[in-house]
Structure 1
Amino acid sequence: MRRTARLLTGTALAVGAVGLVVAPAYGGDGGGLEVDPSSVVPGGHVSVKTAACGDGGSAAGDASAVGAGSFTLAPSAHGREANGRFRVPPSAQPGTYEVVATCAEGGRRVTGDLVVTLTAPREQVHPRGSVKTGVGGALGTDPVQTAAGVAALAVAAAGGTWLLHRRARGDGI
């Protein structure tokens, strides 16, 4: 039993050590270029941001692939990201375009995709109100009419039961 435990512990430690050697020395990829919205119609405004340029870093943006030209990404108020904005020209054709930002310090280049469509993405619409089926509802808005309907159904049910009972006894109708 002890030998098996030692063997399993040794294997786990060896796998863990290999994982430490292979694991990257940084927490992530330093960020790419986030494009918001990722899908836009011609003439729409697009915001971009990246954390790849470091704290307080700025970048030069290039959206010439879509026809918007160059723009600047300035450090945000928090200082952790560089933010920029550009307008997609009204003459832009539908398709997927690459937007590029090059950090001022170090020259790191990050990219993001922008999809140009002819129709604006629609928000999901949730139904509300009643369904007009033509049958009507079980309960109306008037409690007096509702009570009268319930009473009429009760009388009909009682009368039907009485007639069936008489027929079963052989009294006839």
Structure 2
Amino acid sequence: MSVPEPLPPDGVLAAPADRLVAREPTPGLSDTSPDEGLIEDLTVEDKAVEQLAEGLLSHYLPDLQRSKQALQELTQNQVVLLDTLEQEISKFKECHSMLDINALFTEAKHYHAKLVNIRKEMLMLHEKTSKLKKRALKLQQKRQKEELEREQQREKEFEREKQLTAKPAKRT
């Protein structure tokens, strides 16, 4: 069973408890420590170290295990929240795409109405042009008929004048 080592009061980490050796304190950590030099005089028994380690573990291990369990639960909850968030984001994007689709349909209706109006106008213009063409054809036929009648009238008058013109009489 591995046992975490307690920190000595001067902040210097030593070897594992069964091989504890006095070392120089780290400069700046505890320059004015009242316990300075005491670690050199200390003899450590393995049984005492073992009991202290077990006591320390029994004191802190349940809290650490509860903390570990709580962290695992939090991690699981975080994963669930992230999945839920991703689903909500996809729904939001889908809503935006639905809004875009709705806008496109509205625009399509608008342009369809414009096309229907243009088609109506084109049909109306086609009817008007057809009527105008018929009327123009009738007018042209009427003019031609009138011109033909005038021409015939002139010819008749010319013939009549010809007949009315005095002819010298034949001597017999």
- Report the TM-score when normalising by structure 2: 0.25
Say which one has the larger Rg. 2
Bigger RCO (CA 8 Å, 6+ sep): 1
The structure with more helix, counted as a fraction of residues: 2
